[in-house]
Chain A
């Protein structure tokens, strides 16, 4: 359970092919639900898998189980960061890593977008979300009050073929 950290493909391989916890179809459903439920996707998926096999307890054990080792690793990184980030050379490297990460956040959105079927609705929703947050500085919860009805309405009216 601990192994399947960040990479979706590795997670699928272990869960579906190696351990046979879920069928391909179940896995797709779980990941789909994990994406539309609030909270971290893979935690949600592991809650559902844990629940399927061991009920309530399994759900929470697997959610915190998958998280434990990565959490310990970041804490170790934090200790190192605090020790060395005042050294000018290290500081420059970290600032550089930060600027790069910002581009990667946008790039990740673009990558997910290119995986969806081309659909004008999606572009409208994305444009609306970006406008609210970036230009009008909406908070996330506020923007969700507008975005969710907006997206449901346009997806209902302009139904995908």
Chain B
């Protein structure tokens, strides 16, 4: 019963997310974090970020973090609820909009909409990252790691998986030598 209620909550949470995430899941990560950590208390902020890192390391679109969270919270049923909640509403919208695509793609209004929405998505990406950094980065070491990975991701074409792995290894040795403490 408990698992069923949890799965329904998961379904609702991700349905909402599916409809407000413009430009991909990253633009509404801060909303997801709010619901998962602050509203339902399903996990800690650190846990949430670790799961996101795990999804980033896996092949496939980073939206798989949704399935991962569903699985962690309510097992298989949760994973299925999260996946359906995230994929179905957006797919339905896309399906109906794309049927009329030929009528508006390329018009002035469409171009205006495109020009207007893309910077919003980028702004929300950056905002999600910054608000997570404010919550997570409590020491000089973590601020430096976050900034370095930001620069590597933003200005080089290194595969993200290598950036995550090197960050993990750097943290390991910093902890080993007592530079980086985990509370």
Contact = CB atoms under 8 A, between A and B. Distances in A.
Q: What secondary structure prevails in chain B residues at the interface with A?
A: helix
Contacts of A70: 58-61, 64
Interface residues of B, number: 105
Interface in B33-79: 34, 46, 49-65, 67-68, 71-72, 79
Nearest to A147: B120
Contacts, number: 365
Given A81-B54, A134-B130, A156-B112, A29 B79 contact: no
Contacts of B62: 6
Contacts of B160: 104
Contacts of A140: 20-21, 27-28, 30-31, 124
Interface residues of A, number: 86
Interface of B: 16, 18-31, 34, 46, 49-65, 67-68, 71-72, 79, 83, 86-87, 89-91, 93-95, 97-99, 101, 105, 112-134, 136-137, 142, 145-155, 160, 163-172, 174-175, 180, 182
Interface of A: 5-6, 29, 32-44, 47-48, 51, 56, 59-60, 63-64, 66-67, 69-71, 73-75, 77-78, 81-82, 85, 89, 91-114, 116, 121-122, 125-130, 132-134, 139-141, 143-144, 147-148, 151-152, 155-156, 160
